[in-house]
Amino acid sequence: MCGIFGLVSARERQDLGAILVEAGQRLAYRGYDSVGCATVNGAGVIDLRKDVGRVAEVSERLRLDQMRGQRGIVQLRWATFGAPSHRNAQPHLDCDGDMVGAHNGNVVNNVQLQDRLVRQGHTLRGTNDGETCVHAVEHHFDRNGGDMVDAIRQAYDDLAGDYALLITHCDENRLYAIKKGSGLVAGLGPDFTCASSDLPSILPLTRTVLRVHDGEILVLSPEGVRIIQVDTGQEVDREPVEITESMESVTKGGYPHFMLKEIHEQPTAAAELLHLLDQSVHVDRFLEILRASEPVFLVGCGTSYHACLLGAYYLNQIAGRLTVPMLPGQFITRAAGSVGARAAAVFVSQSGETKDVLNAVKVARSRACRTLGVLNVIGSTLTHASETYLPLACGYEISVPATKTFMNQALLFLYLAYRLADRDPAALDAVPGLLESTIAVTDAPARRVAETLAAWDELYYLGYGITEPIALEGALKLKEITYTHCEGIFSAEFKHGPLSAVRAGYPVTFFTAPDDVDMMINHVNEVTCREGRAIAVAQDNDVLRSNVQDYLAVPPSDPWVFPLLATIPAQLVSYYASVARGFDPDFPRNLSKTLTVD
Ligand code: M6R
């Protein structure tokens, strides 16, 4: 997820570069692969410096902190359109170098717009959609006699997708910003104003902020901020607000922990992923390799492995492709000996740095097996080690327990299965809204179930068929952050041994897909007739409800989407149980977000 910040001051500032670098550092938690700053001085001279790398190293190399001027923009780029590179790093200049701007988000018609702009005579230096935004504004500016607001209003209609843009022209001491689906907030200081994709980069400068809504343009000058509606051109009157929360609470978006914040970010992350996949040229390449290969392995560790398990169900049941989910060590010891150039392995890793996974990639490559990556951190080792990769587009996941990255891994496999089966993936556009309503309806019941579970030190989560991966994932999440032992198993296996754990009040959780209710009622009764307590995670179903003690009902959906929705109450139960037991779910003991050791 990219981040942007811009400031316009009444005077030439010697410390402008230092302010931009500090704002960049505060945006860094969102994750990024390149950094850039543009400043404009009183004479209208634009100084643009940018490159691939971390804020501190790029700053040291290009002396970003020594940049001066009256106004400036800093951008941290998380590559989606166009590889991480100097020319795709933001900010971007327009054709004649008198405008500079940077964006945050995705312009989904980027390829078509770039073609059109090139035909109209524009010189584009890279493939990044932020550059497209700048040229789209320039295009209208050159035709309307130099009116920035009017040019931005027209460019807004050209640019499809969710984004926020900051842009300035060298002749005016103003910054312009637009918000369309991505975060944007403005700050008001004594002799400056500023705007950013998120609050933490503004708060060290001022606590007086203006909220911005989608479809609004900001005109920032040292004296104040004007808000103009894109559709009517009318000015909006809005009172600024004073921010009183601590910086820590603001960084967590007002949530007590990153984990809860990241659970709530899932609908947005899912929408971003679907946009991205619809536009990405890499998807076709990926599908081409999957179509041409046999067998196909899905390889990952921990939560990423559970996404592989679910992915294997999707690819098998929807697309009729036999895919084999494996842990990296299993791939090396059980499969690698017999794979060759006909085989493909999809390596799934949030961090892209997990050593077990990289070991398996190495072995796969040595056998000429096709290597594909699914990862969240662009620029990670897996991006280079795989032939081609698909990004998860989740932004930075700070909390050690993986939540939004699991959701997007699973959704990505569902999308690929639809494409392989020649089904229209537009059917998945309902997923973000369903995730949102699932969070809303399961939050309170999940909190109650968490109180029940928090009293036990060993538990079982059961799934049947397509919900087995969710039972395993829910159990892992619970173990990871509550330090309770929880085993996730195929529900039909429970009677073959673990059933002996059941006694009065013993809670067993059943993840039940709509088509498996009848089967699951048998498994539920094996527990309840021995005085156990059955908890169901399912779509609403009267018969199932009458057989269990607690019910976490998720909204009705397509059966393939059900496992995604059922994941949410599992995440929430773990989160609330961890808090109830007095632990910090974000940083569980002994664990690390990125495991680069064997
Ligand atoms: O970065 P990766 O996806 O390769 O990480 C794999 C596991 O270490 C990770 O999923 C771990 O299981 C999570 N912390 C679980 O929430």
**Residue 29 confidence class, pLDDT cut points 50, 70, 90:** low
Quick one: pLDDT band at residue 1, thresholds 50, 70, 90?
Answer: low
How many domains is the chain partitioned into structurally?
A: 3
Closest C-alpha to ligand 1, atom 7: 302
Range of the domain at 37: 3-245
Tokens of 537: 């995670």
Q: Is residue 471 assigned to a domain?
A: yes
In whole angstroms, what is the distance from residue 99 CA to residue 240 CA?
29
Query: Would strands 458-463 and 507-511 be described as parallel, antiparallel, or unpaired?
Result: parallel
Whole-number Å distance, alpha carbon 475 to ligand 1 midpoint, is 14
- 241 and 324 within one domain: no
Residue-wise pLDDT for 405-452, tens only, equals 999 999 999 999 999 999 999 999 999 999 999 999 999 999 999 999
Q: How many residues does the chain have?
A: 598
Domain for residue 502, yes or no? yes
* Residue-level pLDDT at 188: 97
Q: Do β-strands 224-229 and 235-236 pair in parallel, antiparallel, or remain unpaired? A: antiparallel
Is 362 catalytic? The answer is no
Mutation probe of ligand 1 site: the residue of 301, 378, 591, 596 with most atoms within 8 A of C-beta: 301
For the domain that residue 126 is a member of, what is the CATH number?
Answer: 3.60.20.10
Q: Which of 595, 596, 597, 598 to mutate to test the pocket of ligand 1 (most atoms within 8 A of CB)?
A: 595
Which of 358, 149, 400 is closest to 257 using CA atoms? 400
Which residue among 423, 451, 470 closes a domain?
A: 423
> Are 180 and 116 found together in one domain?
yes
Same domain, yes or no: 195 and 304? no
Q: Check whether residue 145 and residue 260 sit in a common domain.
A: no
CATH number of the domain within which 384 lies:
3.40.50.10490
Distance CA 20, CA 15 (A): 9
Could you tell me if residue 82 is inside a domain?
yes
3-class DSSP state of 320: coil
The answer to whether residue 484 sits within a structural domain is: yes
Pocket lining for ligand 1, CB < 6 angstroms: 301-304, 349-351, 354, 357, 400-402, 476, 480, 595
Same domain, 171 and 271: no
Report the C-alpha gap between 242 and 240 in whole angstroms.
7
Q: Are 546 and 579 members of one domain? A: yes
CA of 349 to the centre of ligand 1 (A): 7
pLDDT tens digit string along 485-494? 999 999 999 9
pLDDT of residue 541 exceeding 70: yes
Does residue 598 lie within any of the structural domains? no
Nearest CA to ligand 1 atom 14: 401
CA distance 378 to 384: 9
Predicted confidence band of residue 464 (pLDDT cuts 50, 70, 90): very high
- Indicate the residue among 423, 453, 474 that finishes a domain: 423
Give the ligand 1 atom nearest the CA of 593: 14
In a domain, 387, yes or no: yes
For residue 455, the one-letter residue type is: A
Catalytic annotation on 2?
Answer: yes
pLDDT confidence of residue 31: 65
* pLDDT at 254 > cutoff 80: yes
pLDDT tens digits, residue range 134-185?
999 999 999 998 999 999 999 999 999 888 999 999 999 999 999 997 889 9
* In-domain check, residue 595: no
For residues 219 and 268, membership in a common domain is answered with no
Q: Specify whether the CB–CB gap between 66 and 117 falls below 8 A.
A: no
Report yes or no on 431 lying in a domain: no
Tokens coding 122: 């524009």
260 and 222 part of one domain: no
Same domain, 150 and 44: yes
Longest dimension (CA), the chain: 83
Same domain, 62 and 198: yes
Domain identity same for 485 and 561 = yes
Q: Which of 95, 355, 479, 593 is catalytic?
A: 593
Which of 82-86, 249-253, 555-559 bottoms out in mean pLDDT, i.e. has the lowest?
249-253
Question: Which among 423, 456, 476 is the end of a domain?
Answer: 423
Q: Are residues 412 and 283 part of one domain?
A: yes
- With the most atoms of ligand 1 within 8 angstroms of its CB, the residue from 299, 350, 358 to mutate is 350
Going from the Cα of 309 to the center of ligand 1, the distance in angstroms, rounded, reads: 14
